[in-house]
Each structure stands twice: as structure tokens, then as C-alpha cells.
A and B are shown apart, each in its own frame.
Chain A
């Protein structure tokens, strides 16, 4: 299998089979919190893609050249959270200065995802992930792309949820089901649907 085949497998795995929200149950907070409107869901999704890609890249380096070198794997969580939080803060400052338009659309979401578990999740999963041959661990590019695809998978599900919830607004629901209850039922049904992708062999 060529590298593009590898990428295809990685993308399908990250978006459908091992979707962060619906299979790994990470990042549920924004999934339920920011999925009321389609445009804010899109903003959040873009911010997550952005942060996940960057975090995957930088934590790969931290992991390989710092933690593995000194045998400090047990410090992974604290080191990664530290790195990701600092990175997001830094990026926020940079885009606030250099790209005010981008800051307006992403800025409000950036502080929300500094400590999001999906972002930490992708960083940790990258350290133990293997390519489809089951022997080669992810290299720098693999990790970065996996972060990107995981973000895409998150955005995809978030947008689907927001689209359905916007339509649900107009439905005459029983009073006790309005809002969060129906959102949770919906999340359950979506997770069941994504369960169908499990065991999918590419």
C-alpha cells in the first residue's frame, strides 16, 4: 500500500471508524454545548481542526525528543497539557495580532479547547498508534495528519448534530424533551449509527 493508501485508511479511521466523539467519546462537551447553531458549530470545528493539527505536531516532537529520551512516559499527560495550553495561548495571540478576521471567527472558541480532552486524546493516541501494517509507529507527518483528520471527524459530527438540532427547534416536542434531553437522545442514536462503522476493514 502506498502512502496515499495509508492516508486514506488514516482518514477513514479518524473520521468514521474511530470518530473522536461517537466512538471514543472524547470532546463531548463542545459536541453538546456548541451544536445549537450551524455557524458557531462550524467555527468551533475549524478551531478544533486547527488546534488538533498543531497539537499533534508539537506533542510528537515533545514526546520523541524529550519524554522518550529520558524515559519519562509517565509524565505524558502533564507535559502534553502544558504544551497544548501554552501553544493555544500563543497561537491566539499571534492571530489576534496578525489576522483579526480569523480571530473574530475562531478566537472565541480557542480558549474553550485549550484543555479539551479530544485534543489531549489525539496527542496521546498518536504516541501509541501504528500504521496499517501494525509495526511502524507514526512518524511526525503521520501524527500531524492524524490530528488533522481527527479534527475533520469531530467537525463532521458536530456539523451533523448542529444541522439536526436546528431542525429540531421547529418540531413540536413534549416540553420535558426540549433542549438537552432530545440532544442526548440524538447523540445516542448518532453513536449507534457510527457503531455500524466498527470492524470496517479497509
Chain B
């Protein structure tokens, strides 16, 4: 009888006590944490948590914030753009825009565009032969850079090294080619370029002024390796149907909020400094005679007055003048205009 008691006591003390102690320790800590989470509750904007949920959680830092939580906080509290998450892409941008109550359509993706047409092996004028640390940042400090144009590309590919998504490749001439399918618009190359040649442009805008020189016309022309600099003549600015181009310090710049992608500026530029990716590929407007009611709206919005017609009469498009900007298409109340 005595032995049995001793036996049970020792079983209890070898198994019971440790189990009891550890589980009560766990329970105690659990209780403390539960109470603490109420007492020390910090009110977090529920949107922050929602945005964190929407983000991929890779903490890659491509958005420029310290991790996904940091970016979520910036989006909610500092009005950071919703489309900065590179791994997430447009799907996540749309989700975040929805959480923030923004219009998802305003969240167009941006891509990097190098605003210089020079920088390759045979289209750059050199001041001296540079031999040193293989980096634009280093070269730019030696006598203002190895190339004659002190605004242009040095061709040492800091942007390519900065790109985390392999979107920048080098062609056989040593020129940098940006693959818009891979570019996420994270802006790493924008920061990497010491000459500030790279800007982020909405992916649906295809007309670029490929020069960043603020030199006066003749000076810019003298040093440009492709002799296609912006000379600040202002013709593009005057011809632009929507006043999207401004010339400042001998350099024209396109305001992509206003730009309608018509490519007119590229055709009038005397130095061919403006690149138009859609040149020759634009369709012309065509009015369906059965649907046209002659409201004249298309004629009014046409930047080049290619559309003519009297009120309540059928309107026609002069295909030679039409630049294919598609403005009339979206304005036609009867959806009578098609691009062909």
C-alpha cells in the first residue's frame, strides 16, 4: 500500500510537475500577452493592414520603402502611389487602388525611358578615352565625363546594373535597350543614372524627346554623337495640338498628362530628336456614314482639322491630314468613328 502511494507520487513528480509548470508558464505568458495586446493596443489604420494583405510580402524594397509594411504605411498615410509594387504588378496596384478608393484606371503603369539617343560605340563623340572603374558615377567625376556632351549618356551601363528585373539589355552597338515587358517602373535606374537621363513615362505614351541637353542649339549639335539633339527651337511646342510640350533652358519636355500620343511633334522636329515608336503604324480615323448624325463634335476636337462637314450633314475625314490621334473616336456620341 505504501509503495503504491510512493509509486504514484513519483510518477506525478516526474511527469505531472514539469507538465504543470511548463503549461502554466505558457498559459501565464499567453494571458499576459493577451492583456498587453489590449492595454498597449496601437490603433492601426485598417487600410494599412488591408494593403499589407494585398501586397506579395516579398519585402524586396523595389518600391523604395523598407519592406511591404513600410510601403503600406506610406500608401495610406503619405499618399504614395499605389502602383509602386514591382513584383505585384498591375493586379496588386488595382487591389491597393480599390482599398484606397482610388480610380484604378489612373494607375497606369510606367516604364523607364532613356532621354538620350547617344551612348553607343559609334554614335558618341568622345572627349578622352576613359579607363577606370566601370561605372558612370565614377566616370562623370573625371573632367565632366568622357563624352563630349556633358548632358548625354556615357555608355557605362549603371542603369543596367541597377535594374533588378533584367529589363535593360545592351545591343551590339553598346546601346541600352529597355524591354517594356520586363520594366516594372520601379525607378532604380532613374536613381542610378548620374546624368538623370532616365524618366518614367506611362507605358501607353510612345513619343519621347530623346535628348537632355540644355546647351544652346549650335553647341548641343556640335557635341552630339548622333547629331539629333534638342536645340530648343520650340517648333514641337507650337505644333502640339494639346500644348503638352514646353521648352525650358533650350530643352523641350513632354507633359505626359496632356500628351495624346499623336506623334505630330516627331514629324515636325527639325533635328529628329523626337522618337515616335508608333510612327507609320497609326491607323486613320474613318466615319461610318450610317451612324454619323453631323453633330460636329469630332471636327471640333480634331487637333489638325482633318474632319470637315456641315452641321447635321455627314462628316468626312481627310486621311492625308489625319494623324491617328484617336481623339475623335472617344468623343463621338454615336460611336461612329473607327480606326482603320
Contact = CB atoms under 8 A, between A and B. Distances in A.
B143 interface: no
A164 B26 CA distance: 42
B21 A97 contact: no
A86 to B, nearest CB: 4
Contacts of B33: 86, 89-90, 93
A93 B21 CA distance: 25
A96 B42 contact: yes
Band of interface residues on B: 10 to 19
Contacts of B133: 170, 172
Contacts of A96: 40, 42
Nearest to A78: B22
A93 B40 CA distance: 6
A97 B18 contact: no
B66 A108 contact: yes
B66 A86 contact: no
A70 B37 contact: no
A41 B212 CA distance: 39
Nearest to B20: A70
Interface in A50-92: 62, 66, 70, 72, 75, 78-79, 82-83, 86, 89-90
Given A89-B33, A90-B32, A172-B133, A82 B40 contact: no
B134 A94 contact: no
Contacts of B17: 70, 72
Interface residues of A, number: 20
Given A172-B133, A172-B134, A72 B21 contact: yes
Nearest to A89: B33
B172 to A, nearest CB: 22
B42 A97 contact: yes
Contact of A86 (B22, B29, B134): B29
A70 B21 contact: yes
A75 B32 contact: no
A75 B37 contact: no
B335 to A, nearest CB: 53
B192 to A, nearest CB: 13
Contacts of A172: 133-134
B279 interface: no
B18 A75 contact: yes
B174 interface: no
Contacts of B42: 96-97
B36 A93 contact: yes
Contact of A82 (B18, B22, B37): B22
A94 B22 contact: no
B268 interface: no
A75 B18 CA distance: 8
Contacts of A75: 18, 21-22
B87 interface: no
B41 interface: yes
B332 to A, nearest CB: 54
Contacts of B36: 90, 93-94
B29 A66 contact: no
Contact of B25 (A82, A89, A93, A97): A82
B67 interface: yes
Contact of A79 (B22, B32, B37): B22
B17 to A, nearest CB: 6
Contact of B40 (A83, A86, A97): A97
A97 B37 CA distance: 10
A70 B42 CA distance: 39
Contacts of A86: 29-30, 32-33
A75 B19 CA distance: 10
B21 A66 contact: yes
B254 to A, nearest CB: 36
A66 B21 CA distance: 8
A149 to B, nearest CB: 27
Nearest to A171: B133
Nearest to B137: A170
Contact of A83 (B18, B25, B37, B67): B25
B125 to A, nearest CB: 27
B318 to A, nearest CB: 58
Nearest to B59: A108
Best-buried of A86, A94, A98, A170 by chain B (most CB within 10 Å): A86
A79 B28 CA distance: 12
B22 A93 contact: no
A170 B133 CA distance: 9
14 contacts: A62-B25, A72-B21, A75-B18, A75-B21, A79-B22, A83-B29, A89-B33, A90-B32, A90-B33, A90-B36, A93-B36, A93-B37, A94-B40, A108-B67
Chain A to chain B: the 8 pairs with minimum beta-carbon distance, closest first: A86-B29, A97-B40, A93-B40, A93-B36, A96-B42, A72-B18, A90-B36, A70-B17
Given A72-B21, A79-B21, A90-B33, 12 more contacts: A70-B18, A70-B21, A72-B17, A75-B22, A79-B22, A82-B29, A83-B29, A90-B36, A93-B37, A94-B40, A96-B42, A97-B40
